[in-house]
Amino acid sequence: MASPRVVILGGGPAGVGAARELARRKLGAATLLEAGAHYGGNAGSFEFGGQWLDYGSHRLHPATDPAILADIRALLGADLKDRPRHGRIRLLGKWIHFPLKPVDLLLRLDKSFAVGTLRDMVAKKLPGRAPEGDTFESVIRANLGSTIADEFYLPYAVKLWGRDPKELSGVQARKRVAAGSFGKLVRKVLNAVPGLKPPGAGRFFYPVRGFGQISEAYAAEAAKLGADMRLGWRMTRIERPASDSAPWRVHAEGHGRSDVIEADYVWSTIPVTLLARALAPTAPQDVLEATQAVTYRSMILIYAQLPVEQFTEYDAHYFPGAKTRITRLSEPKNYSDLGRPKGSTILCAELPCAMGDAVWKMSDEELGQLLADDLAGCGLPLPAKPTQVFTRRLPQAYPIYLMGYEAPLAKVESWVESVPRLLSYGRQGLFQHDNTHHALAMAYGAVDCMQSGRFDTNHWGELRQVFAKHVVED
Ligand SMILES: Cc1cc2nc3c(=O)[nH]c(=O)nc-3n(C[C@H](O)[C@H](O)[C@H](O)COP(=O)(O)OP(=O)(O)OC[C@H]3O[C@@H](n4cnc5c(N)ncnc54)[C@H](O)[C@@H]3O)c2cc1C
């Protein structure tokens, strides 16, 4: 039997992982369309001034499935570095090491915060506590107490997702907050104690040519094994098969040309909302309306090039406080530890926003000033005027789990699932707040389902249960 033809939409980790696995296991003839100029999607990289930069802080977490990690190691070889984590959180005007360290907490934590947290921990053991409820706020308050909620998670949530934490679903707290209870928090602190440290704790993997090197390596391997990898090609419309035996017709534009690609399967990693809107004949009106209620948070990345060797020794700074508009600042040079280029470093600040809002419309100059003001406000002023400030914009950075998001999402998903030989997966395709290793696990899982030329939807259903348990690593 001839290999099924699979068109993959999107060349982020979920797309390139599937293209490579289909080709390696000879289970399908893949054509991958990636609209951008490089592979990796939000987990991609680009070069500027002799330095590799990511779209915000990206690390490969040791929680990666061992088989996938072994594949990444084989693809990258010595280019994949094992690095210690060394970040800081700005909490009530003080810097706390992240990952958390017991001694640092004892010496530096704001006393009122420490006392409040201890009081909350004791109160949690007492009978008659408030029920957990189902909003982001109530889940965090019930599990981590009001001190951590008010000073850390709730203001951070407002910045990350742009909503009052009472409007956000409890699912966002359960999926997004890895230290989601006092027990987990204490375990995370103890992870830093020699002797109690599990393997990988406080460490991460990082490629020498930026995080995007992982996706680039998968894409290069897929191409070598025969996949048709098309960079700079955007899917514009998808004609559904007219019958069970008819092919899909995927319309695409790239490099000043247009093309129609016929396929037996379409595997999409683009936002499920955009997929539903791209299909012809069009989805029913109620499905199209439901896509409007499934929303993603956008993000601007502000890069500032400084004429100094190093800004700080830290890889990342986290800013949960309401007064600081950016959520995180990373110094990419400290991730790969290559010390290149000499005499300059580039900072990358993450500024969540909504596409088209006042922040989204700010000029690079205004955003550079915002960054300088935010850092000065935290006692971390820029040591020199930036030689360059430039930005990148991510339209879909984080899924927003608003209260009641499940109903419109289910409507869109169940319609997409009802279309034969169509698969939506990956972070955007499943509207899931995931890490790269999760997106890769979905890609490998999709290929596991492709047996004897047919896609096993029952097995995919089982895998969906596993994906639903993914919890984001920070
Ligand atoms: C600020 C930030 C920090 C993060 N930090 C980490 C981290 O430290 N560690 C970690 O593991 N993960 C991290 N993540 C998550 C990681 O970026 C995602 O898990 C990963 O990018 C998901 O891969 P994906 O392939 O599912 O989706 P995406 O990366 O979103 O890829 C989708 C692709 O589809 C393409 N596309 C869209 N429309 C079309 C079209 N019409 N035609 C063709 N192509 C199209 C896009 O260009 C994109 O390349 C972070 C995410 C963000 C936003």
Please state the atom number of ligand 1 nearest to the C-alpha of residue 398: 53
Range with lowest mean pLDDT among 60-64, 100-104, 347-351: 100-104
**Which of the listed residues 38, 206, 211, 436 should we mutate to test ligand 1's pocket, taking the one with most ligand atoms within 8 A of CB?**
436
Number of H-type helices and E-type strands within the chain: 17, 22
Residue 1 pLDDT > 90: no
9 lines ligand 1 (CB under 6 A): yes
Q: Hey, what CATH class is 5-44+65-83+211-293+403-467 in?
A: alpha beta
Q: What is the 3-state secondary structure (H, E, C) of 220-233?
A: HHHHHCCCEEEECE
* pLDDT at residue 471, rounded to an integer: 81
**Bigger pLDDT: 107 vs 134:** 134
Question: CA 62 to CA 437: how far, in whole Å?
Answer: 9
Q: Domain-by-domain residue ranges, the chain?
A: 5-44+65-83+211-293+403-467, 100-196, 296-399
Q: Inform me whether the pLDDT recorded for 350 exceeds 90.
A: yes
The pTM for the full model equals 0.95
For residue 199, what are its two tokens? 């393997």
Average pLDDT value over all residues in the chain: 93
Q: What atom of ligand 1 comes closest to residue 301's alpha carbon?
A: 1
pLDDT at 189: 61
Cite the DSSP H helix spans in 356-471.
364-377, 406-418, 426-429, 436-449, 457-467
Give the ligand 1 atom nearest the CA of 233: 43
Ligand 1, pocket-test mutation among 42, 215, 396, most atoms within 8 A of CB: 42
**Cα–Cα distance, 445 to 465 (Å, whole number):** 12
Which superfamily is assigned to 296-399 in CATH? Answer: Protoporphyrinogen oxidase, mitochondrial; domain 2 (3.90.660.20)
pLDDT score recorded for residue 202: 87
Ligand 1 atom nearest to 426, measured from its CA: 26
Nearest Cα residue to atom 29 of ligand 1: 41
Q: How confident is the model at residue 228 (pLDDT cuts 50, 70, 90)?
A: very high
> What CATH architecture is 100-196?
Orthogonal Bundle (1.10)
Query: Which atom, in ligand 1's list, is nearest to the CA of 14?
Result: 25
Answer whether 13 contacts ligand 1 (Cβ < 6 A).
yes
CA distances from 158 to 19, 111, 153, 162, 428 (A): 37, 25, 9, 5, 21
How many alpha carbons lie under 13 Å from residue 473 in its C-beta half-sphere? 19
Q: H or E element: which one contains 52? A: strand 51-54
pLDDT tens digits for range 5-44: 999 999 999 999 999 999 999 999 999 999 999 999 999 9
Average pLDDT over residues 313-320: 95
Task: Give 386-416 as a DSSP string.
Answer: -SEEEEEEEEEEEE--BTTTHHHHHHHHHHH
Cα 246 to ligand 1 centroid, rounded to whole Å: 31
Q: How confident is the model over 73-95, as a mean pLDDT? A: 95
155, pLDDT greater than 90: yes
Given a cut of 80, whether residue 337 has pLDDT beyond it is no
For position 226, what pLDDT does the model report?
98
Q: Say how many Å lie between the CA of residue 462 and the centre of ligand 1.
A: 24
